[in-house]
Chains A and B, each alone.
Chain A
Amino acid sequence: MFRIFKDKMLGKNSSTNQNYKLSKSIDKNIALFKEIFKEDETIIYRNFESKSKDSIKFCIIFDKNLSKMSSINDYVIKPITRKEFPNDMSAKKRIELLMSKILITCDNKLSSNTNDLISHILYGDSILLIDGVDQAIQICTKEWHQRAIDEPQAERAIRGPKEGFIESIDVNYTLIRRKIRSPNLKFIFKEVGDKTKTRICICYIDSLASEKVLKELYKRLDEIDIDGVLESGYIEELIKDSPLSPFKTIGNTERPDTVCAKILEGRIALIVDGTPNVLTLPYIFLEYFQVSEDYYTNFFYSSVNRALKYLGFFISTSIPAIYVALTTFHQEMIPTPLLLSISASREGVPFPTIVEALFMLLSFEILREGGIRLPSTVGSAISFVGAVILGEAAVSARFVSAPIVIIVALTGISNFLLPKMLGALILIRIIFLILSAFLGLYGYIFGVIGLFIHLFSMRSFGYPYMLNIDLLDDEEIKDTVIRAPWWLMHFRTRLIGSKNKERQKDYTISRRE
């Protein structure tokens, strides 16, 4: 439906890329690049010649802000200008000599594809044009400034590595490679985006990751036809299963240790240049509740934290709905003293309970969204205003009743136990609330049934989304609601790690016992 609409809007397919061709004359080639980079002052064309009498003309083209000029000086221009080239040398020999003896940079490549060359210039590489050759040499001279490796703000850990991914794909690559020093760890680079030509990197252990998932991933990535990819969120939305669901079927994280753990379980990571958020797939519902720190701290403590997260999921989705259902339909279910105190606090409040609840939830979301992007000094002012005005003043002005403030506060706090599920939680909460305002607990139960039907019908790259939630196998439960000690988890997760299930040999256990 959308495709038909899109075709109508565009009329005809827009123009394709023009294909330029290099010629043997260096002047023509320079003119060609000057035509391509018209009105671009940052591109430098440096002409120079070799030492001998019948000197050969060279021209190096680079972007002055992206390339490291000193290495161009020292490793390209200087050696060439000091070298004599024999006259009778063929073009092919000349290039060979250049590549093997003269250019002392580490990564050189011969290419005749102009589009490729252009994108390399714009990525900080230099292009060396040689007179009489219809090819050019790409020389790696990239250098630009990037953020230092820092602790990810959204995924802090008390115990565990404090490094996080940054915006450079090459640095992110090193962060992963350094942790898993195995030749089985494969990195496959690709490019997406017509204009941005964003580099992405698919990263997996080939003895663990399933070929089917890889094949499916390649297929979906190849289908992407978009002008630009600025963040991994673009790719996530373009290739995910159940695109209309508020739940993630592809995970993302800023922590290298989390990515490595997932790769070791047989998952595949997708690094996108220009963003610290690395995608992992397949992603199942349980992963919302798993944090890298769970695996580093004591397993009792981790299990308690897991349980708290499940409780948080329940509270965050259901408590407002249950409160509204009980107070407007099923007063019989409230214990007498509580009924009396709710009744006392509702005395004189003008709005129905559902309006109160929606109003308070809305104002909480406004505060949350308002506070996130502000500098921390202003942010504290926002939270102060929120606490005082919404909590205290609204109750004493009889605008809302006190219990609803408690309910909304509890809901809001529980939200942050599952920061990655925030969007889905808000949606579910509002739907449950409206259902139970119409139908009481029946409505709430309908909502719960609907939610579970939705969750159980989803798949992530062929794997059931609710994997390991629906069965009580003593092997599979070890990393679900509880986190078993490491010496007990000797198998990888069902299905995802099925290619090589054994995580550790049995003797570690027998030694323990």
Chain B
Amino acid sequence: MNIRIILIIIVIIIAVVFLTGCWNYKEINQFIIVSGLAIDYSSVDDLYIVTIELINVSGGIDEQEAMSGETFESKGVSIFDAIRNMIGKAGRRLYWSDAAVVIISESIARKGIISALDVVIRGLEIRSDIFLLISKEDTAAEVLYTRDLRRQKVISYHIEDILQSQEETSKYFRVPTWIFVKNLYSSEINPTCPGIKLVTYNNTTFHQIGETAVFKKDQLIGWLNDENTKYFLWITDNLKEGVYSMNLEYDSSYYDVVFEIFSNQTTKKAQYIDDVLTVIIDVQTIVNIDEVVVGPNASSNENIDALEKIIESHIKKKIENLIHIVQNKYNSDILGLGMTIKKDMPELWKNEIKPKWDTTFPKLNTEVNVNIKPRRSSLTLRTIRVQD
């Protein structure tokens, strides 16, 4: 009786220890942590070039020595092949779960980004929330090779830091790969992602994220410049907070007005009246007027109302301009207008619009309403003036 129970317990322990699927014991120092990768394509020898940044953990209690990035490059007929070729150079097994960014060269993106993204999404170890960037330089590898030594020693994490502070600036946005791929799958929206370039100033090279890559299906077809990127964020309701500055004309003199965006809510609605399909874009922004250079007295209600009107019409014009560019220059629905129509009138979308969306989209009517609500005029009531 007892012996039987003991035997059963032994069998269970053996089965649990040796037959379970989680038998992937690995010590933390048996692998090298990859922080980011860049993918290029060399048309000379028809090979993919994968550049990865590894974190060189030189053991030591000395904090200064704790870690630094180290860049490796290898080639292969496919990306996976190139990654496998890397192990010979890196020495240990690569650990991908903590990779933060994937940078893809513009040439691959123009040809079709799926060839590069497949391994990122399919791979077991790489997380699908890794941030996607398109290099505006000649190659993607350049971005990882350029070291900005004043800051983080690991470039990929430095780039990640820049992306994480998106909310404070609202000049660019971050796109995790899974969102990009989700947008690729859907017919109602085309994917976008930010670009990265190198800027040299005072003999130091910086990484700068900005502009927006416009995709049509999986191909890059052009860029939105920094200014339009802002309005793009405005329409897609990605604007969190940030600073907006504008020149405006009032009483036949020019003023610089700077305001801080507190919160923004953009709602899109589709309307079908008299056989005309219109997408209404409502922008509700709460701002705080930060800086008025030689301008009207910001505290008096009349002036604030006047200011509001001018700002509203200014922003409205800019947004309409962006929609115009997207509709006519690129003919790619990166704004998600199709999604709005599908949500509001699914039957219409399915039966009539979806099949000929390509030709309908450039002609789609839009209506932009901008509503700016200044909350307060910061601490001062009036602008600084030199006494006459």
**Which residues of chain A have a CB within 8 Å of any CB of chain B?**
327-329, 331-332, 336, 339-349, 352-353, 395-396, 398, 402, 438-440, 442
A440 pairs with B22, CB closer than 8 A: yes
Tell me which of B22, B25, B28, B97 contacts A343 (CB under 8 A). B28
Taking a contact as CB atoms under 8 Å apart, the answer to whether A438 and B17 are in contact is yes
The 8 A CB mask of B54-96 against A (1 = contact, 0 = none) is 0101111100001100000000000000000000000000010
Q: Which residues of B contact A348 (CB under 8 A)?
A: 59
Q: Which residues of B contact A398 (CB under 8 A)?
A: 59
Q: Is the CB of A347 within 8 A of B29?
A: yes
Question: Nearest A residue to B24 by beta-carbon distance?
Answer: A329
Q: Is the CB of A340 within 8 A of B22?
A: no
Could you name 27 residue pairs across A and B whose Cβ atoms are closer than 8 Å? A328-B25, A328-B26, A328-B27, A329-B22, A329-B24, A329-B25, A331-B26, A331-B95, A340-B33, A340-B66, A341-B66, A343-B28, A343-B29, A343-B33, A344-B57, A344-B60, A345-B59, A346-B27, A346-B29, A347-B57, A347-B58, A349-B29, A353-B28, A395-B61, A396-B61, A439-B20, A439-B22
Residues of A within 8 A of B59 (CB): 344-348, 398
- Contacting residues, chain B, for A341 (C-beta < 8 A): 66
Q: A328-B27, A346-B29, A442-B20 are in contact. Are A340 and B57 (CB under 8 A)?
A: yes
Say if the beta carbon of B98 comes within 8 Å of chain A.
yes
CB < 8 Å neighbour of B97 from A328, A331, A352: A331
Q: In this complex, what residue of B is CB-closest to A328?
A: B25
| Other 7 A-B pairs with CB < 8 A, given A340-B33, A344-B66, A346-B29 | A327-B27, A329-B26, A331-B95, A332-B127, A349-B29, A353-B27, A442-B20
B157 within 8 A of A: yes
Given known pairs A352-B27, A440-B22, the reply for A340 and B58 (CB within 8 Å) is no
Is B16 part of the contact surface with A, judged by Cβ < 8 Å?
yes
Q: Which residues of A contact B58 (CB under 8 A)?
A: 344, 347
Residues of A within 8 A of B97 (CB): 331-332
Contact with A along B30-74 (1 / 0, CB 8 A): 000100000000000000000000010111110000110000000
Q: Mark B289-322, 1 if CB is under 8 A from A, else 0.
A: 0000000000000000000000000000000000
In the assembled complex, the CB of B130 is this many whole angstroms from the nearest CB of chain A, namely: 12
Closest-CB distance, B304 to chain A (whole angstroms): 45
0/1 interface trace, chain B 174-211, chain A, CB 8 Å (1 if under): 00000000000000000000000000000000000000
Q: Which 5 A-B pairs have the closest CB atoms?
A: A347-B59, A346-B29, A332-B97, A344-B57, A336-B98
Chain A residues near B24 (CB-CB < 8 A): 329
Given contacts A340-B67, A341-B66, A442 and B22 within 8 Å (CB-CB)? yes
For residue B56, give the distance in angstroms from its CB to the closest CB of chain A: 10
The chain A residue sitting closest to B13, CB to CB, is A438
Nearest A residue to B16 via CB reads A439
For the complex formed, measure the closest distance between the CB of B356 and the CB atoms of chain A, giving whole angstroms.
45
Give Cα A328 to B30, complex, Å.
Answer: 10
In this complex, the member of A340, A343, A442 whose beta carbon has the largest number of chain B beta carbons within 10 angstroms is: A343
A395 and chain B: residue at smallest CB distance: B61
Find chain B residues with CB under 8 A from A347 CB. Answer: 29, 57-60
Q: Which of B28, B60, B95 has the most CB of A within 10 A?
A: B28
List, in ascending order, chain B residues with CB within 8 A of A343's CB: 28-29, 33, 57
* Chain B residue contacts of A442, Cβ below 8 A: 20, 22
Question: Using Cβ atoms and an 8 Å threshold, which residues of chain A touch B61?
Answer: 345, 395-396, 402
CB nearest neighbor in A for B23: A439
Structural contact, A327 and B22, CB atoms closer than 8 A: no
Q: Indicate which residue in B22, B28, B127 contacts A342 across the interface (CB closer than 8 Å).
A: B28
Cα distance, A341 to B66, chains bound together (Å) = 7
- Nearest-Cβ distance from residue B353 to partner chain A, whole angstroms: 42
Q: Bin the interface of chain B by size.
A: 20 to 34
Give complex CA distance A352, B60 in Å.
18
Nearest residue (CB) in A for B56 is A344
A336, B98: Cα distance in complex, Å: 6
Which A residues touch B57, using CB under 8 A? 340, 343-344, 347
Nearest neighbor of B55 in chain A, beta-carbon distance: A340
Q: Determine the distance from Cα of A329 to Cα of B20 in the docked complex, in whole angstroms.
A: 13
Bound-state Cα–Cα, A340 to B16, Å = 31
Instruction: Quote the shortest CB–CB distance from B225 to chain A (angstroms).
Output: 33
Rounded to whole angstroms, the CA-CA distance of A329 and B29 in the bound complex is 12
Interface centre among B25, B60, B67, B100 (most CB of A within 10 A): B25
Kindly state the separation between the CA atoms of A328 and B100 in the bound complex, as whole angstroms.
22
A336 and chain B: residue at smallest CB distance: B98
Report the separation of the CA atoms of residues A345 and B62 in the bound assembly, to the nearest whole angstrom: 10
Q: How far is the CB of B102 from chain A (nearest CB, A)?
A: 16
Q: A396 to B98, alpha carbons, bound, how many Å? A: 28
Cα-based distance from A336 to B96 in the complex (angstroms): 11
Could you tell me the distance between the alpha carbons of A339 and B60 in the complex, rounded to whole angstroms? 15
- Please give the distance in Å from B24's CB to the nearest CB on chain A: 6
Give B152 Cβ to nearest chain A Cβ, in Å.
11
Nearest Cβ distance between residue A36 and chain B, in whole angstroms? 48
Closest chain-B Cβ to A439's Cβ sits at a distance in Å of 6
Question: Given A331-B95, A344-B58, A344-B67: A339 and B28 within 8 A (CB)?
Answer: yes
B22 to chain A, nearest CB (A): 6
Across-interface contacts of A342 in B (CB, < 8 A): 28
Partner of B28, one of A346, A395, A402, A440: A346
Chain B nearest CB, measured from A277 CB (Å) = 36
User: Nearest Cβ distance between residue B15 and chain A, in whole angstroms?
Assistant: 12
User: Shortest CB–CB separation between residue B256 and chain A, in angstroms?
Assistant: 41
**Whose C-beta in chain B lies nearest to the C-beta of A345?**
B59
Q: How far is the CA of A342 from the CA of B27 in the complex (A)?
A: 11
Residues of B within 8 A of A439 (CB): 16-17, 20, 22
Q: How far apart sit A343 and B27, CA to CA, in the bound complex (Å)?
A: 9
Q: Please, which residues of chain B bring their CB within 8 A of the CB of A329?
A: 22, 24-26
A8 and B160 alpha carbons, distance in the complex (Å): 76
Alpha-carbon distance between A355 and B61 when the two chains are bound, in angstroms: 21
For B337-379 the 0/1 string (1 means CB < 8 A from A) is: 0000000000000000000000000000000000000000000
Closest chain B residue, CB of each to CB of A333: B97
Contact B16 A328 (CB under 8 A): no
| CA gap between A184 and B127 in the complex, in Å | 70
Docked complex Cα distance between A329 and B127 (Å): 17
B28 — which chain A residues lie within 8 A by C-beta?
A: 327-328, 331, 339, 342-343, 346, 353
Which chain B residue has the least Cβ–Cβ distance from A346?
B29
Q: In the complex, which of the residues B26, B66, B98 contacts A339, with contact meaning CB atoms closer than 8 Å?
A: B98
**CB-based nearest B residue for A348:** B59
Residue of A nearest to B67 (CB): A340
In contact, B27 and A339 (Cβ under 8 angstroms): no
A332 to B98, CA, bound (A): 7
Q: CA separation between A327 and B25, bound complex, in Å?
A: 9
Of the residues A339, A353, A395, A396, contact of B33 by C-beta under 8 Å: A339
Bound complex: CA A344 to CA B22 (Å): 25
**A396 nearest CB across to chain B (Å):** 7
**Which residues of the other chain, A, contact B33 by a CB distance below 8 angstroms?**
336, 339-340, 343
Nearest residue, chain A, Cβ from B29: A346
Q: In the complex, A219→B114 CA distance in Å? A: 79
Name which residue of chain B comes closest to A442, CB basis: B22
Residues in A whose Cβ lies below 8 Å from that of B127? 332
Q: What is the CA–CA distance of A439 and B55 in the complex, to the nearest angstrom?
A: 28
A331→B96 CA distance, assembly (Å): 11
B16, B58, B157: which has the most chain A beta carbons within 10 Å? B16
B127-146 near A? 1/0 per residue, CB < 8 Å: 10000000000000000000
- A314 CB to closest chain B CB, in angstroms? 23
User: Whole-angstrom distance between the alpha carbons of A349 and B95 in the complex?
Assistant: 20
Complex Cα spacing A345 to B95, Å? 17
Q: How far is it, in angstroms, between the C-alpha of A442 and the C-alpha of B16 when the chains are bound?
A: 10
- A434 → chain B, closest Cβ, in Å? 11
**Bound: A349/B20 CA distance, A:** 29
- In the complex the two chains form, what is the Cα distance from A341 to B58 in whole Å? 10
Collect the chain A residues with CB atoms within 8 Å of residue B17's CB.
438-439
A250 to B60, CA, bound (A): 50
The docked-state distance in angstroms from the alpha carbon of A398 to that of B67 is 18
**CB-defined contacts of B25 to chain A, threshold 8 Å:** 328-329, 440
CB closest residue in chain A, given B97: A332
